[in-house]
Amino acid sequence: MTGHETILPAWRPGPTRDAILGFLHDIDGVPPADRVACFDNDGTLWCERPTYVQLDFFVDALKAKVAADPSAAGTPEYTALLTGDHAAIAQLGLARIGLALVELFDGMTPEAFVAHAREFMRRAMHAGLDRPTRTTVYQPMLELLGELRRRDFAISVVTGGGTEFVRAISAELYDVPPEAVVGTLIKYALDRDGDGRPRLLRTTSILGDANEGPTKVTNIQTQLGRRPILAAGNSGGDREMLEWAGTANGPGLALLIDHDDPEREFQYLSSAETFTESEPITDVGRRLGWTIVSMANDWDTVFPPVGDEPVR
């Protein structure tokens, strides 16, 4: 009886849970200003398979646009997306596909974009898990966020996805405010309405670089100005962020989620296929002494019960 019932109940007893409890104990002497934790989103806080939620959102918006104006379907990028033609998508390349999707929201205000994203999240169902997409968050990670928050941690979501998309859901799903989301940023243009009042409009350009790999670390510094002592991720794009947190002075925890649970979620080897790592990210993590989280073995519960989630 180690308090399993009252703290982190969705985590099974074992070395992984012990490592987390050890960290929570060790931070007693860490000043509050240094209690900073950074969490990747896709595949770390919520499910990223079979497709990124943000891609589902963009394709949903594309379908709405084509329903209103069938001629919009005519570009190669949109045709490939609407027919789910993976070979054509691969041949066009992610950069062209991404730009075509971002163009769907060109000239939109941030408020309108957030409203669109929330409307989608209210009705989106996960393809395969038979639950609303907004409930595909990982219960053990929500419990960890809660324990960190009780210890006055500043918690950030550091995502390769679009900052504004994640901001639209981060308060509701994770209790993380907009300014604590670090992601890939769309540039805005300051425009004037007919009465001369300023308004912000989305463009199709990226501010800085896409938030993956080393850029996650430089963006943490430029946007947050503090170094995390805990980082959690699941892919090659999280490698530098986990190294950054894991080598801070004093207590540090680098958590790598291993998707090894085909029964309850998905089984896939992160990173090697999408990034330039020649080594599977789980091997990198073992070599560097990270705490590897086996979804199959370490998590008693994967998803929260459906029906309890907040609805806005």
For a copy of itself, the closer of residues 172 and 261 by Cβ is: 172
Q: Which of 244, 245, 236, 230 is nearest to 213 (CA)?
A: 236
d(CA 214, CA 78): 31
Shortest gap between Cβ of 30 and a copy of itself (angstroms)? 16
d(CA 184, CA 161): 6
Shortest gap between Cβ of 31 and a copy of itself (angstroms)? 11
- Burial of 268: CB neighbours in 10 Å, binned 0-12, 13-18, 19+: middle
- Strand order of the β-sheet with 198-207 is 198-207, 181-192, 154-162, 36-39, 230-233, 253-258, 291-294
Contact 40, 235 (CB under 8 A): yes
Shortest gap between Cβ of 17 and a copy of itself (angstroms)? 27
For a copy of itself, the closer of residues 15 and 177 by Cβ is: 177
Shortest gap between Cβ of 229 and a copy of itself (angstroms)? 14
For a copy of itself, the closer of residues 90 and 189 by Cβ is: 189
Contact 170, 180 (CB under 8 A): yes
Measured CA to CA in angstroms, residue 210 lies from 59, 158, 193, 219 at distances of: 20, 12, 30, 10
Contact 221, 197 (CB under 8 A): no
d(CA 47, CA 55): 13
Distance of CA 74 to the CA centre of its chain: 31
d(CA 256, CA 140): 13
For a copy of itself, the closer of residues 67 and 200 by Cβ is: 200
Shortest gap between Cβ of 39 and a copy of itself (angstroms)? 15
For a copy of itself, the closer of residues 134 and 239 by Cβ is: 239
Q: Which of 113, 133, 115, 114 is nearest to 123 (CA)?
A: 133
For a copy of itself, the closer of residues 62 and 242 by Cβ is: 242
For a copy of itself, the closer of residues 205 and 267 by Cβ is: 205
Shortest gap between Cβ of 219 and a copy of itself (angstroms)? 9
Residues that bind a copy of itself (CB under 8 A): 33, 110, 154, 156, 163-164, 167, 171, 177-181, 185, 187-190, 197-198, 200, 207-208, 214, 217-218, 221-226, 240, 243-244, 247
Shortest gap between Cβ of 199 and a copy of itself (angstroms)? 9
Q: Which of 119, 48, 47 is nearest to 304 (CA)?
A: 47
For a copy of itself, the closer of residues 125 and 171 by Cβ is: 171
Shortest gap between Cβ of 237 and a copy of itself (angstroms)? 13
